[in-house]
Amino acid sequence: MLLMVSVQNMKEAKQALKGDADIIDVKNLQEALVGSAHPRLVKEVRDFVPEERHASVTLGVVPNQVGTVAMAVYSAGLLNATSVKVGFMQTEYATAVEILLASKEALIGTGTKLIGSLFADNGLYDGLDPHKMVALAKDGECDGFLIDTLTKDGRNLFDFMSEEILTDIVYQGKSMGISTALSGHLRLDNLDELARINPDIVGVRGAVCSKGERGNSVHWEAVSKFRNELNLRESGEIEVRNLKITSNGLHENGWIVIDGTGKSCASIILELTEQVGKDSKSFVEVIMPDVLNTYDVIVWAQKGGHKVISQRKETSGSVRILVQPG
């Protein structure tokens, strides 16, 4: 899982980067529910963040105006943001799709990814149903999606959507080959649930601010602690589910091998699906970069009627899974 930290200025961006955040997300918490940062700040952050890290832009809750949103998205592309998040609250589904499609068109010729976003607590505002997130991302031709929250009363993501529902939504997104992200006042004590759901990206702010208050500044030590706790779950040092992974097992010998090193879980699942679709007889061994992603392959196998023959953990921390297509 990548760690995304929301920042409001360059000082916070530097703190987030020092704490080993993977994505520096620029936003404006003072503008309405959540708003956009000034483009000059976005450019400053983008220029500061190394190419191997990500600098994203949050537009927040966008107006129901196709051209206005597309223009803002176009600006994010010109600024070379890694991604731009477009969020919807009180918007009709068809209008949200139209806005996303126009935004996608606005990004043609840039490397910026389009991320559609719904809020788990939209029901409090008579807003667009967050359970439609996967369908909206697909119809809007998004590169990924984010489920977040808007309320500031102490409740967080899991107060509005259950682990089971979020797991299913994230799995659907990965099966489509798009990135999946969860945010919304997430805390350290939510890490076990997050690890079981295993989105591609976990977004935080309050949990990595001084004294755990989102109104305070981001502090690198808090970022580092959150990052380390994520790492412990990815490596399997902190077990969040009872996976039986053996240290010995079968070895490569004539079957198809899919090396997931350096790949997102979504792309691995997509590659697996394509492989068994064109060849339903050959065994497939997939190399997963960490323990958490192993569960996604097991779920994929169960849903597709395939059989997991063996699992073995390498000294590098990666896990090899041998699958017999059903």
The torsion defined by the Cα of 152, 153, 157 and 160, in degrees rounded to 10, comes to -130
> In 3D, which of 164, 169, 203, 200 has the Cα closest to residue 187?
203
234 close to 219: Cβ distance less than 8 angstroms: no
Choose, from 18, 85, 211, 225, the residue flagged as catalytic: 85
User: Helices 39-48 and 10-18: crossing angle, nearest 10°?
Assistant: 30
85 has catalytic annotation:
yes
Tokens of 305: 């009627």
9: tokens are 């200025």
Cα–Cα distance for residue pair 145/117, rounded to 1 Å = 6
Residue in 18, 27, 132, 138 annotated catalytic? 27
Measure the CA–CA gap between 148 and 3, rounded to whole angstroms: 14
SS3 for 197?
helix
- Which of the residues are catalytic? 27, 85
